[in-house]
A and B are shown apart, each in its own frame.
Chain A
Amino acid sequence: MSTIEIKNLTKKFLRSGANESTAVTAIESLDLRIEDGEFFTLVGPSGCGKSTLLDILAGLSTPSHGEVLVDGEPISGPSLERSVVFQQYALFPWLTAAANVLVGLESQARHGQGPNKADRRARAHEYLRLVGLEGVEDKYPHELSGGMRQRVAIARALAHEPKVLLMDEPFAALDAQTREQLQDLLLDIWKRTRTTIVFITHGIEEAVYLGQKVAVMSAKPGKITEIVDIELQDRQAVDDIRSTRQFGEYRHYLWTLLHRHGRQGEEATIDKTLITSGASA
């Protein structure tokens, strides 16, 4: 569990043209604080720099300006403390499901941390069970469906017990039913482990369903236009919370925010205070 602070973050890419290189600003002067144990979702149109932001949080890419602190320490590259779940699963196809889950645990062991060999195997199986995959330990990724592959990827990201889980549109490639199952699975895991989760999506509904906070990003250059606190009760305690009035209001509010930036100048038609007062009722 960790607090993430992003201070004045700017990321520029060099695009090489015919004669000269031009700098494209993907993210501009972004400030953000994500609290310890928070489920934080980021929603925005494609090309708004949300994946770039996740790359920087993962340590796979470095900021052009500004800094990112995790528990007060600047990020200096990828780390087992911050796991990533990618949209395209990114499982190693030559390894079985269990061996995939073991990769992070074995890196940990090489640094003299984590469980011993027998316990590592047990841990891999335990995490596969946690994501609902008992009995597929020895199957290869190509023998599994998309939903099952993403479950393996989640188990792999969690098995070494990272402080932060970064998720880059992890359910975007799945069918609607599988997506809902995995959303519930993720909420269950989060409630149990209280890992800080940063979840990127372009689905407004997904952002509202999962996040305690939803940050709305706009493109060109990428920045956060608003952070909305989602004060819904336990998602799974209510039958079909997505059809409640409150959920619908959040959804619509975020929709308006996202579309307002397409048409500059227009104001959001929904008063935000309406929703927050509704939450306490």
Chain B
Amino acid sequence: MSTLVLPDQQVRVENTTVRHVRPTRRLGASLRKTLYRSGAIIGFLLVWELVPQFVLEPASRVFLPPLHEVLQQLWKMIISGDLGTHIVASLGRSAIGFILAVIIGVPVGLVVAWFAKVGDFLNPLLEVFRNTAALALLPVFTLLLGIGELSKVSIVLYAAFFPVLLNTILGARSVDPLLIRAGKTLGLNNFEIFSKVVLPASVPIIFTGIRMAGTSAVLVLIAAEMIGAKAGLGYLITNSQASFLIPKMYAAILTVAVLGFVVNAALVALEQHFSRWARA
């Protein structure tokens, strides 16, 4: 039996490529970077605060109240719990529709991708649906399902379903064939190739679809709520406008913006977590 003399040294050298930077300098640099990046937002908020006060005439000022009035109104709505009720109503509908879309979209996408004939058959129809704006179908949903929760959740489900479905198909189809070949030579049968190679390999692309679905779930719901609803942020916006409670309307819009931002950031974090290995 000969002993193995292995070039350990080389392996270790290959491994040390981390650059060392002094922590204080890094902190200062990142602070400056953060400031620079939030500059545009701060500028925008300043314009919002100052232009209505010093530039606009009192008549038009009514339609665009300065930021501090909107924030005061927002604070009142938070304290009263009014805002919370609407947020819960909206988020609940989005979440149910979105989760259903993921639960249905991923398995259907995998089946379509795995069975090429099913895919060939369904693809033209999917393309038609995908390119039909969800909101164009809102009247249809309202006619068939009424103006209650069912039609709201359904339109969210519809809007979120296609990004999930299409990205799952794309992900499963774009798996490196080499990995499938490697899996076969390592004794994996067809089902194992699917569950242990195709599925994990498509996770990053599937999560991109899930992120897109989450964003459109919120966007479509707000619009749907503006057309017919008794609660929710979309309802709050149109209702405030109709009641001429302009600061309240802006407070609701601001809430929608923050909510969209938070949902997207959460989904981006989730996406990055599940595709850490793909960052080569």
Chain B contact-residue range equals: 20 to 34
User: How far does the Cβ of A139 sit from chain B's closest Cβ, in whole Å?
Assistant: 9
- B200 engages A92 (CB within 8 Å): yes
Question: Which are the 6 A-B pairs with shortest beta-carbon distances?
Answer: A107-B187, A132-B6, A90-B182, A78-B184, A142-B280, A145-B14
Among A94, A111, A147, A189, point to the contact of B277 (Cβ < 8 A). A94
- B10 engages A90 (CB within 8 Å): no
Task: Let me know if B8 is at the binding interface, CB within 8 A.
Answer: yes
Given A90-B179, A94-B277, A142-B279, the answer on whether A191 and B2 have CB atoms closer than 8 Å is yes
User: How far does the Cβ of A183 sit from chain B's closest Cβ, in whole Å?
Assistant: 11
Q: Which residues of A contact B182 (CB under 8 A)?
A: 84, 86, 90-92
Interface residues of A in 22-46 (CB under 8 A from B): none
Known: A93-B280, A104-B187. 8 other contacts (CB 8 A): A84-B181, A84-B185, A92-B200, A103-B188, A111-B187, A141-B277, A142-B280, A185-B7
Q: Which residues of B contact A225 (CB under 8 A)?
A: none
Give 19 CB contacts A-B under 8 Å.
A58-B181, A59-B184, A59-B185, A78-B185, A78-B187, A79-B187, A84-B181, A86-B181, A91-B182, A93-B201, A94-B277, A103-B196, A107-B188, A111-B187, A132-B4, A132-B7, A147-B10, A178-B10, A192-B2
Among A60, A132, A133, point to the contact of B184 (Cβ < 8 A). A60
Residue of B nearest to A102 (CB): B186
Convert A141-158 into 0s and 1s, putting 1 for each residue whose CB lies closer than 8 angstroms to a CB of B.
110010110000000100
Among A86, A130, A132, point to the contact of B8 (Cβ < 8 A). A132
User: How far does the Cβ of A148 sit from chain B's closest Cβ, in whole Å?
Assistant: 6
How far apart sit A246 and B275, CA to CA, in the bound complex (Å)?
A: 52
Given A94-B203, A132-B8, the answer on whether A60 and B1 have CB atoms closer than 8 Å is no
Q: Which residues of A contact B197 (CB under 8 A)?
A: 92
User: How far does the Cβ of A66 sit from chain B's closest Cβ, in whole Å?
Assistant: 21
Q: Which residues of B contact A94 (CB under 8 A)?
A: 200-201, 203, 277
Task: Let me know if A226 is at the binding interface, CB within 8 A.
Answer: no
Residue of A nearest to B199 (CB): A94
Residue of B nearest to A93 (CB): B277
User: How far does the Cβ of A82 sit from chain B's closest Cβ, in whole Å?
Assistant: 7
Q: Which residues of A contact B183 (CB under 8 A)?
A: 103
Task: Let me know if A266 is at the binding interface, CB within 8 A.
Answer: no
How far apart sit A82 and B2, CA to CA, in the bound complex (Å)?
A: 24
User: How far does the Cβ of B154 sit from chain A's closest Cβ, in whole Å?
Assistant: 35
How far apart sit A185 and B4, CA to CA, in the bound complex (Å)?
A: 8
User: How far does the Cβ of B256 sit from chain A's closest Cβ, in whole Å?
Assistant: 36
How far apart sit A80 and B196, CA to CA, in the bound complex (Å)?
A: 17
- B10 engages A181 (CB within 8 Å): yes
- A142 engages B187 (CB within 8 Å): no
- A147 engages B4 (CB within 8 Å): no
Task: Let me know if B149 is at the binding interface, CB within 8 A.
Answer: no
User: How far does the Cβ of A97 sit from chain B's closest Cβ, in whole Å?
Assistant: 12
- B181 engages A90 (CB within 8 Å): yes
Task: Let me know if A188 is at the binding interface, CB within 8 A.
Answer: yes
Among A58, A91, A141, A192, point to the contact of B185 (Cβ < 8 A). A58
Q: Which residues of B contact A59 (CB under 8 A)?
A: 184-185
Task: Let me know if A140 is at the binding interface, CB within 8 A.
Answer: yes
Task: Let me know if B11 is at the binding interface, CB within 8 A.
Answer: yes
How far apart sit A60 and B185, CA to CA, in the bound complex (Å)?
A: 8
Q: Which residues of B contact A145 (CB under 8 A)?
A: 14-15
Convert A108-130 into 0s and 1s, putting 1 for each residue whose CB lies closer than 8 angstroms to a CB of B.
10110000000000000000001
Q: Which residues of B contact A196 (CB under 8 A)?
A: none
Task: Let me know if A83 is at the binding interface, CB within 8 A.
Answer: yes
How far apart sit A186 and B242, CA to CA, in the bound complex (Å)?
A: 79
User: How far does the Cβ of B16 sit from chain A's closest Cβ, in whole Å?
Assistant: 11
User: How far does the Cβ of A131 sit from chain B's closest Cβ, in whole Å?
Assistant: 8
- A142 engages B277 (CB within 8 Å): yes
Residue of B nearest to A145 (CB): B14
Interface residues of B in 195-241 (CB under 8 A from A): 196-197, 200-201, 203
Given A60-B181, A92-B179, A94-B201, the answer on whether A148 and B187 have CB atoms closer than 8 Å is no
How far apart sit A256 and B59, CA to CA, in the bound complex (Å)?
A: 94
Convert B164-184 into 0s and 1s, putting 1 for each residue whose CB lies closer than 8 angstroms to a CB of A.
000000000000101101111
Q: Which residues of B contact A177 (CB under 8 A)?
A: 10
Q: Which residues of A contact B4 (CB under 8 A)?
A: 130, 132, 185, 188-189, 192
User: How far does the Cβ of B4 sit from chain A's closest Cβ, in whole Å?
Assistant: 5
